[in-house]
Structure 1
């Protein structure tokens, strides 16, 4: 299922590849795009980040976003359509292990008190929406993004923005249809794992933070491996 940011990204990509938006031309302002497309500022920013990752747009500090005048220079790209399969989800979880385990360790060393409060606030908000019976996709991503911000290295933030909400597997893999209690238990395990990550960061322990994040993502990978194995035997 495509998100609003995917739809906006594809719409802008079509305008760029068709020549409606020409190389070097500045994109409309965030406010103009919000009004024209009826979406939030967050959606616009996610779409522009995705276009930048695809090499279609470049951003200039203080000037805005522009159509890449040399689109032949393409960066590394992950096909978002591939993230909807179990194999794709497992591959991305392994990639996230390599990146986010170290991000958690760095955040434990560099996070300001304000940023630690932000990580805790994201954790508590996820807990609240789970209690209401929500899947907590946006809130889960917010927790991981808050940790990336706390590294004081914007490349970690860009990595998560590039992958977008599809880094949360339950966004693309509907694995709990008709099983609300199983979903609730799964989300409660995520709560517990997030709490361990938070406590390690608060304790300023890089090793514990790295291990807690790795364990969290390993557990997710194991669940989707089991799903893939079950599908193969049907």
Structure 2
């Protein structure tokens, strides 16, 4: 079925970025403006229509895929699902009204990704390990690049590291759950740009070092160490989230 870019003509830049774009796409699918089986425009076409970043577009599409509202076909792109699936578990970013709400989501994420790291260490094959290493290299390059956007630097690459680890388990359901989580990853809800350059660089370096510890354990096939390193990483992420929010509010 041919792509119909005109279906996206009414979309404007959403004030809440990912959440706003998700709402717009859901409304168009539910209203029939985007019909079952219809191929969606490319990521770049959606970027041009909405004014949001490519990272935001990818996060929105991942969320719709996790809900069963769209499907992807290798080499062809994304399509509106032919048949609506029963409503699946989802997390609405705009429904998280307090720091406590986000911390509860982080606890859930921690319980899933810790076990996934251990399974990745036990099951990773050369291709899976290569994908994790490539994602980590891209993250380190992104946070070291001069002139990067302070608010989004390394965000997409950070998500890619975690998704590659979940994919290395060989269990596709881990990645599908992560697609639900990725719209509320703390980096997306912390005003990182409000931090000083020194604080921001220190924060990103710590994240990179924690990724390296997880990767080293997976590379060594040490499931216990991988679980431990992921637990340390996500626990610190949770603590950093609470601390950074407090610092920015006090500033």
1:220 to 237, 246, 249: 237
In the alignment, does 2:105 pair up with 1:88? Answer: no
Structure 2 unaligned regions, length at least 5: 1-14
Whole-angstrom distance in 2 between the partners of 1:228 and 1:204:
36
Q: Counterpart in 1 of 2:138?
A: 125
TM-score with structure 2 setting the length: 0.74
For the residues of structure 2 that align with 1:28 and 1:174, how far apart are their CA atoms? Answer: 35
Equivalent residue pairs, number: 226
The equivalent of 1:107 in structure 2 is: 120
Contact 2:195 2:248 survives alignment (8 Å): no
Q: Residue 139 of structure 1 is aligned with which of 141, 157, 175?
A: 157
Q: Is the 8 A contact 1:108 1:200 kept in 2?
A: yes
2:171 matches 1:160: no
How high is the TM-score relative to the length of structure 1?
0.79
Post-superposition shift, 1:91?
Answer: 2.0
C-alpha distance after superposition, 1:40-60 (max 9, x if no partner) = 9987665444224446x2649
Paired residues for 1:48-63 under 5 Å: 48-54=61-67, 57=69, 59=71
Gaps of 5+ in 1: none
Structure 1 stretches of 4+ moved >4 Å: 5-8, 33-37, 39-46, 58-64, 67-70, 227-234
Summarize the Cα distance change of 1:210–1:69 in structure 2 as closer, same or farther, 3 Å threshold.
closer
Which residue in the other structure is 1:186 paired with? 203
* CA displacement at 1:218 relative to structure 2: 0.4
CA distance in 2, matches of 1:137, 1:150: 20
Residue 148 of structure 1, aligned match among 146, 166, 173: 166
1:178 Cα offset (Å): 4.4
Note if contact 1:21-1:67 (Cα within 8 Å) is conserved in structure 2: no
CA distance in 2, matches of 1:109, 1:14: 42
* Aligned counterpart, 2:89: 76
Question: For 2:129, which of 106, 116, 119 is the aligned residue?
Answer: 116
Determine helix, strand or coil for the equivalent of 1:74. coil
CA drift of 1:201 comes to: 0.2
Q: CA RMSD in A?
A: 3.4
Q: Name 2:214's counterpart in structure 1.
A: 197
Q: Are residues 1:66 and 2:81 paired?
A: yes
Matches within 5 A, 1:3-18: 3=17, 6-18=19-31
Distance 2:20 2:226 in 1: 36
Aligned-partner SS, 2:133: helix
